Amino acid sequence: MILLLGGTTEGRRLAELLDEAHVPYVLSLAGRTSNPIVRGTVRTGGFGGADGLAAYLIGSAIEVVVDATHPFARTMSTNAAAACHQAGIPLVRLDRPGWSTHPLAHTWTWVDDHAAAAAAVLLLGASRVLLTVGRLHTLDYSPALDQLAVLARVAEPPSGDLPPTWRLLQARGPFTIQGEGHLLRSHRIDTLVTKDSGGEATAAKLAAAAEAGVRVVMVRRAGRGNGEAVDSVEAALAALAKFHPHVTQKSQGTL
């Protein structure tokens, strides 16, 4: 049995491919998204840290774990690495490529964390900001940016009140360059703050920002620990085939 730690487009896609190939797996979700679009066997909610996950792995006869969580889901990735080590189970880490090699990357202000991003926004003299750092970190920018006009775009609303000068925009990708350009111009945005999530669904804002002369503050990724690292769903399937014979045998038609 494969345990697939999901919460991303790639996790969902990998689950679909395993499902189509009739390879047994459990897709695990944190339970943060209301009505996630998924199929197959799904479990929801935390495991209770690395020890809880290790107990789950052993108790559920898991043979291999795929960490397909978001590149910024650091706690889950650290726990997955520790639990797999503890349980003696192989780990495949699916990390979609980030934007550090994007042709415009050298034009952005790169920072290590959200506190540094907020400080950079103030140093750059921004006044109208598009903030796309995810629901969990949106409010990290308050009180630092409370005096600025901030448009906070999130897929799910943050659990707290926004400062009076901020506006919430609830939207889920994929976004287009044209649509992002319109958003930046209509809100007269001068600075985009985002994180190096990678992925095609949200990359349009970077090209649109360049076209509109909007500066970009980018939060870097941190390392994600142990396991066999792969950067695509196809590479994850190939890695799984080494640990789980069903994948090679049954997914040939799918690949």
**For residue 143, is the peptide bond before it cis, meaning its omega torsion is within 30 degrees of 0?**
yes
Q: Say whether residue 74 binds ligand NAP (CB under 6 A).
A: yes
Q: Say whether residue 81 binds ligand NAP (CB under 6 A).
A: no
Looking at the Cβ atoms of 206 and 212, the one nearer to ligand NAP is 206
Q: Which of 134, 181, 198, 225 binds ligand NAP (CB under 6 A)?
A: 134
Residue 92: strand pairing partners: 66, 228
Place of tokens 């659990």: 159
Q: Say whether residue 60 binds ligand NAP (CB under 6 A).
A: no
Contact, 16 vs 42, CB < 8 A? no
Smallest gap, in angstroms, from Cβ of residue 69 to ligand NAP? 3
Q: Which of 2, 21, 28, 181 binds ligand NAP (CB under 6 A)?
A: 28
Q: Which of 39, 51, 75, 188 binds ligand NAP (CB under 6 A)?
A: 75
Burial track 111-129 (b if 16+ CB lie within 10 A, e otherwise): beebeebbebbeeeebeeb
Place of tokens 């809880």: 52
Looking at the Cβ atoms of 136 and 177, the one nearer to ligand NAP is 136
Region binding ligand NAP by CB under 6 A among candidate stretches 5-13, 15-23, 100-108, 156-164: 5-13
Q: Which strands form 166-170's sheet, in the order they lie side by side?
A: 109-111, 215-219, 191-195, 128-132, 149-154, 166-170
Which are the contacts of 190, defined by CB distance < 8 A and separation ≥ 6? Answer: 126, 127, 128, 129, 214, 215
Helix then strand count (H, E) for the chain reads 9, 12
Looking at the Cβ atoms of 134 and 198, the one nearer to ligand NAP is 134
Q: Say whether residue 13 binds ligand NAP (CB under 6 A).
A: no
Determine the 3-state secondary structure of 92 from DSSP: strand
By rule CB under 6 A, what string of x and - marks binding of each residue 194-233 to ligand NAP?
----------------------------------------
Q: Which residue is nearest to ligand NAP (CB)?
A: 46
Binding site for ligand NAP (CB under 6 A): 5-8, 28-30, 32, 46-49, 52-53, 69-70, 72-76, 79, 134, 136
